[in-house]
Protein backbone atom coordinates (compact mmCIF):
# COMPACT_ATOMS: atom_id res chain seq x y z
CA UNK A 1 0.00 0.00 0.00
CA UNK A 2 1.23 3.48 -0.82
CA UNK A 3 1.29 5.96 2.04
CA UNK A 4 1.17 9.68 1.29
CA UNK A 5 1.80 12.82 3.24
CA UNK A 6 1.85 16.48 2.23
CA UNK A 7 4.67 18.94 2.86
CA UNK A 8 4.27 22.71 2.68
CA UNK A 9 7.46 24.03 1.09
CA UNK A 10 8.51 27.56 0.14
CA UNK A 11 7.76 26.49 -3.46
CA UNK A 12 4.26 25.23 -2.72
CA UNK A 13 2.67 22.03 -1.56
CA UNK A 14 4.55 18.77 -2.16
CA UNK A 15 3.10 15.27 -1.97
CA UNK A 16 5.41 12.56 -0.70
CA UNK A 17 4.65 8.91 -1.43
CA UNK A 18 6.23 5.84 0.10
CA UNK A 19 5.89 2.10 0.28
CA UNK A 20 7.42 -0.19 2.90
CA UNK A 21 10.89 0.11 1.30
CA UNK A 22 11.31 3.84 0.69
CA UNK A 23 10.06 7.01 -0.93
CA UNK A 24 8.43 6.25 -4.27
CA UNK A 25 7.35 9.75 -5.22
CA UNK A 26 7.85 13.40 -4.42
CA UNK A 27 5.72 15.73 -6.52
CA UNK A 28 5.03 19.45 -6.53
CA UNK A 29 1.31 19.92 -6.93
CA UNK A 30 0.55 20.62 -10.55
CA UNK A 31 3.87 19.35 -11.88
CA UNK A 32 3.84 17.87 -15.36
CA UNK A 33 3.83 14.20 -14.35
CA UNK A 34 2.04 14.52 -11.01
CA UNK A 35 -0.27 11.57 -10.53
CA UNK A 36 -2.02 10.35 -7.42
CA UNK A 37 -1.84 6.57 -6.92
CA UNK A 38 -5.08 4.62 -7.32
CA UNK A 39 -4.86 3.22 -3.81
CA UNK A 40 -3.20 5.06 -0.95
CA UNK A 41 -3.52 5.87 2.70
CA UNK A 42 -2.76 9.36 3.97
CA UNK A 43 -0.68 8.63 7.05
CA UNK A 44 2.62 9.39 8.71
CA UNK A 45 5.23 6.64 8.37
CA UNK A 46 8.88 6.46 9.41
CA UNK A 47 9.96 6.76 5.77
CA UNK A 48 7.75 9.80 5.16
CA UNK A 49 9.10 11.38 8.37
CA UNK A 50 12.62 10.88 7.01
CA UNK A 51 11.56 12.53 3.75
CA UNK A 52 10.12 15.47 5.70
CA UNK A 53 13.30 15.78 7.77
CA UNK A 54 15.38 15.84 4.57
CA UNK A 55 13.13 18.52 3.04
CA UNK A 56 13.27 20.57 6.27
CA UNK A 57 17.08 20.64 6.08
CA UNK A 58 17.07 21.35 2.36
CA UNK A 59 14.59 24.22 2.49
CA UNK A 60 16.49 25.77 5.42
CA UNK A 61 19.34 26.22 2.93
CA UNK A 62 21.45 23.36 4.27
CA UNK A 63 22.92 20.47 2.35
CA UNK A 64 21.07 17.50 3.92
CA UNK A 65 23.46 15.22 5.79
CA UNK A 66 21.62 11.99 4.94
CA UNK A 67 19.50 10.40 2.24
CA UNK A 68 16.09 8.99 3.14
CA UNK A 69 15.29 5.47 1.92
CA UNK A 70 14.40 5.68 -1.78
CA UNK A 71 12.42 3.23 -3.90
CA UNK A 72 11.87 4.78 -7.33
CA UNK A 73 10.28 2.59 -9.95
CA UNK A 74 11.36 2.79 -13.57
CA UNK A 75 13.14 1.04 -16.42
CA UNK A 76 16.75 -0.08 -16.10
CA UNK A 77 17.79 2.93 -18.19
CA UNK A 78 15.82 5.36 -16.03
CA UNK A 79 17.31 3.84 -12.87
CA UNK A 80 20.82 4.32 -14.32
CA UNK A 81 20.09 7.98 -15.05
CA UNK A 82 18.53 8.57 -11.62
CA UNK A 83 21.56 6.97 -9.95
CA UNK A 84 23.80 9.48 -11.77
CA UNK A 85 21.51 12.32 -10.65
CA UNK A 86 22.01 11.26 -7.03
CA UNK A 87 25.76 11.75 -7.48
CA UNK A 88 25.51 15.39 -8.65
CA UNK A 89 26.98 17.43 -5.80
CA UNK A 90 24.80 19.95 -3.99
CA UNK A 91 25.14 23.35 -5.65
CA UNK A 92 26.55 21.97 -8.91
CA UNK A 93 25.04 21.16 -12.29
CA UNK A 94 25.64 18.68 -15.08
CA UNK A 95 24.40 18.64 -18.68
CA UNK A 96 22.23 16.01 -20.32
CA UNK A 97 25.14 15.35 -22.68
CA UNK A 98 27.54 14.74 -19.80
CA UNK A 99 25.14 12.20 -18.31
CA UNK A 100 24.80 10.53 -21.72
CA UNK A 101 28.60 10.38 -21.97
CA UNK A 102 28.86 8.75 -18.51
CA UNK A 103 26.31 6.10 -19.52
CA UNK A 104 28.04 5.45 -22.85
CA UNK A 105 31.37 4.97 -21.05
CA UNK A 106 29.78 2.65 -18.49
CA UNK A 107 28.19 0.55 -21.26
CA UNK A 108 31.31 0.57 -23.45
CA UNK A 109 29.56 2.23 -26.38
CA UNK A 110 30.63 5.23 -28.45
CA UNK A 111 27.67 7.46 -27.65
CA UNK A 112 24.30 7.75 -25.94
CA UNK A 113 21.39 10.02 -26.77
CA UNK A 114 21.15 13.15 -24.63
CA UNK A 115 17.45 13.25 -25.58
CA UNK A 116 16.93 9.78 -24.09
CA UNK A 117 18.64 11.02 -20.94
CA UNK A 118 16.31 14.03 -20.94
CA UNK A 119 13.29 11.73 -21.07
CA UNK A 120 14.53 9.77 -18.06
CA UNK A 121 15.41 12.95 -16.14
CA UNK A 122 11.95 14.37 -16.87
CA UNK A 123 10.24 11.26 -15.50
CA UNK A 124 12.17 11.24 -12.22
CA UNK A 125 9.50 10.32 -9.65
CA UNK A 126 11.35 11.71 -6.60
CA UNK A 127 12.04 15.33 -7.53
CA UNK A 128 14.37 17.47 -5.42
CA UNK A 129 15.82 14.51 -3.48
CA UNK A 130 16.89 12.88 -6.75
CA UNK A 131 18.10 16.25 -8.03
CA UNK A 132 16.86 16.49 -11.60
CA UNK A 133 16.81 20.28 -11.17
CA UNK A 134 20.63 20.19 -11.35
CA UNK A 135 20.59 19.10 -15.01
CA UNK A 136 21.13 21.86 -17.57
CA UNK A 137 21.54 22.24 -21.31
CA UNK A 138 24.91 21.75 -23.04
CA UNK A 139 25.54 25.50 -22.95
CA UNK A 140 24.57 25.76 -19.28
CA UNK A 141 21.09 27.05 -20.08
CA UNK A 142 18.23 26.19 -17.77
CA UNK A 143 16.06 23.83 -19.74
CA UNK A 144 12.71 22.30 -18.84
CA UNK A 145 11.67 21.05 -15.46
CA UNK A 146 8.52 19.02 -14.82
CA UNK A 147 7.73 21.17 -11.76
CA UNK A 148 8.12 24.37 -13.80
CA UNK A 149 11.20 26.37 -14.75
CA UNK A 150 10.48 28.93 -12.03
CA UNK A 151 10.82 26.18 -9.38
CA UNK A 152 14.04 24.90 -10.97
CA UNK A 153 15.53 28.39 -10.74
CA UNK A 154 14.49 28.74 -7.08
CA UNK A 155 15.95 25.33 -6.19
CA UNK A 156 19.28 26.20 -7.82
CA UNK A 157 19.29 29.61 -6.12
CA UNK A 158 18.61 27.91 -2.77
CA UNK A 159 21.72 25.78 -3.37
CA UNK A 160 23.72 28.89 -4.37
CA UNK A 161 24.45 27.29 -7.72
CA UNK A 162 26.92 29.48 -9.61
CA UNK A 163 25.24 28.99 -13.00
CA UNK A 164 22.08 30.84 -11.92
CA UNK A 165 23.55 33.52 -9.67
Sequence ranges of the chain with CATH classification 3.30.160: 2-59
pLDDT, position 33: 67
Rounded Cα–Cα distance for residues 137 and 92 (Å)? 13
The pairing of beta strand 135-136 with beta strand 23-28: unpaired
**Over the stretch 48-67, which tens digit does the pLDDT of each residue have?**
999 999 999 999 999 999 99
Strand order in the sheet with 12-18: 23-28, 12-18, 2-9, 40-42
pLDDT, position 141: 83
According to the CATH classification, is domain 2-59 in 3.40.1350? no
pLDDT of 99 higher than 60: yes
Rounded Cα–Cα distance for residues 61 and 64 (Å)? 9
Sequence ranges of the chain with CATH classification 1.10.10.10: 76-164
pLDDT of 138 higher than 80: yes
CATH code of the domain made up of 76-164:
1.10.10.10
Where in the sequence numbering do the catalytic residues fall? 132
Amino acid sequence: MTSIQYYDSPLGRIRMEADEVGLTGLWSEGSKYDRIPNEYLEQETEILLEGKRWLDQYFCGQKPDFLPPLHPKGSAFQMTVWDILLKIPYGETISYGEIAHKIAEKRGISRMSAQAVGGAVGHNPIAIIIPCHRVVGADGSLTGYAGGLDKKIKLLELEHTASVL
